[in-house]
Structure 1
Amino acid sequence: MFEILFEHINRKISLQEAEMEQLKTFFIPKKYRRKQYVLQQGDPCKYIVFVEKGMLRSYQVDDKGNEHIVQFAPEGWWISDSYSFLTGTPASYDIDVLEEAEVLLITQPAMEEMLQAIPAMERYMRILMQNSLISMQRRIACTLTTQAEERYLGFIAENPHIGQRVPQHMLASFLGMTPETLSRVRKQLLKKS
């Protein structure tokens, strides 16, 4: 474990070998089974999760029982309920496991200690936050301004590895459309090609 995390970090910053060894001490390795919850809505979010293997998702369920997926997290991605994690308030999201997973968990106190002990990680976390903000803004704009077909094609172009690993109804939820709309979009695209 830690191989994917170190690859991810090394794409953004450089760490010394001793810093990488020290970094391991701040994380809790854990394995999850498929369909197991990592976080349930209403519980305080105690961890930020890095996915070494498998796939997780974050979502809310509305009053009618419909799931609204806000994030998929395959290998090399981070996932959490950031607001709950930072404030200690009840989580707004459920996070569960779509594929058997091996993850690295970090608590808020361990995160603060890590950032103090390894200053380069402060830059790494800032880069992650900037990328997350950009991604979120792009997703909101896309959802508000594009048609279903364009949203689907954009997602598949940017995330082909995710599109092939999640059921169609979950992909539709993430894209903000019904499964029937997604099915219709896919059929129309097949006819065009």
Structure 2
Amino acid sequence: MEDEPNIFDVLAAFHPVSRELREHLNKVLLSRTLKKGQVLLRPGRVPAQAWFIQDGAARAYVFDDRKGEQVSVWFWTGGDFMLALDSFCRQLPTSFYIELLEDSTLLSLSYSQLEETAERFPAFRHIERSIMEACLHRLYRHYHARAHLPAKARFEKLMGEQPWLFQVAPVKDIASFLGMYPDTLSRLRGER
């Protein structure tokens, strides 16, 4: 079994983490192990926290009332920071659900703790900004590919970047994320 990702190693990839910041985060981060299927966030709620996935996986989705189905908009796995990008930073109601795809161990930090940490440790603001930039870059790349690449290229790109996803998420959820029908995704997987 692989070692669980260490939040301090991930943070240090963005900016050095001082001993004082490490000690502070060890005090304020809350570790919880939650069950597959647990919904962490629902539309209309203001997200109270951001998470770091130590082990497990999750997805963000919206419900398309027109089609009567869920549409996956993002996936996370161990080593990822997870938050509702549409609402956490401005503390507005979200439009997303966030659901665990498997039993998961999460570290959480409340919005107020995050702000207080950034005030006390200026380097943390740099880390926070760098993480947001990385998230936005990944989001842009995904939606650019979804808009401009044919189905097979979108599938191959996802297989190259997030092969773990096919082990934890149903085909219908991955297909909606890629902007294709489940039978198209199944056919592409079968051709591989």
Unmatched runs of 5 consecutive residues or more in structure 1: none
Partner of 1:137: 140
- Larger helix proportion of the pair: 1
Q: Following the alignment from structure 1 to structure 2, what is the Cα–Cα distance between the partners of residues 128 and 29?
A: 20
Checking the alignment, whether the CA contact within 8 Å between 2:49 and 2:108 is kept in structure 1 is yes
What do residues 114-136 of structure 1 show as CA deviations (whole Å, max 9, x unaligned)? 11222221111111111122112
Which residue is 2:99 aligned to? 96
Cα distance, 1:140 vs structure 2: 1.6
Q: In structure 2, the residue corresponding to 1:48 is in which secondary structure? A: strand
Aligned residues: 188
Percent identical pairs in the alignment equals: 27
Query: Aligned residue for 2:84?
Result: 81
Which string of whole-angstrom CA distances, capped at 9 and with x for unpartnered residues, describes residues 72-93 of structure 1? 1100111221332233332200
Q: Check whether the contact 2:84–2:96 (CA below 8 A) recurs between aligned residues.
A: yes
Alpha-carbon distance in 1 for matches of 2:125, 2:151: 38
Question: Are residues 1:147 and 2:150 paired?
Answer: yes
Q: TM-score, normalised by structure 2?
A: 0.90
* Residue 27, structure 1, aligned to residue 29, structure 2: yes
RMSD over aligned Cα, in angstroms?
Answer: 1.7
Contact 1:45 1:90 in 2 (8 A): yes
Question: Aligned to 1:127, what secondary structure does the other structure show?
Answer: helix
Normalising by structure 1, we get a TM-score of 0.90
- The match for 1:157 is 160
Deviations 1:96-115 (A, max 9, x none): 11110111111211111111
Counterpart code for 1:125: E
What does residue 124 of structure 2 align with? 121
Q: Tell me how far apart the structure 2 counterparts of residues 61 and 4 of structure 1 sit (CA, whole Å).
A: 33
Deviation at 1:25, TM superposition (A): 2.4
Contact 2:14–2:131, Cα closer than 8 Å, also in 1: no
Provide the residue aligned with 1:48 in structure 2.
Answer: 50
Aligned: 1:179 with 2:173: no
4+ long deviations beyond 6 Å: none
| Deviations 1:130-167 (CA, angstroms, capped at 9, x unpaired) | 11221122112111111100000001111122233322
SS at the partner of 2:154? helix
Aligned with 2:73: secondary structure?
Answer: strand
Distance in 2, matches of 1:186 and 1:56, equals 22
Give the CA deviation at 1:3.
5.8
**For 1:56 and 1:37, how far apart are their aligned partners in 2?**
9
Instruction: Quote the residue 2:20 is aligned against.
Output: 18
- Contact 2:5/2:55 (8 A) holds in 1: no
Contact 2:31 2:107 in 1 (8 A): yes
Contact 1:26 1:111 in 2 (8 A): no
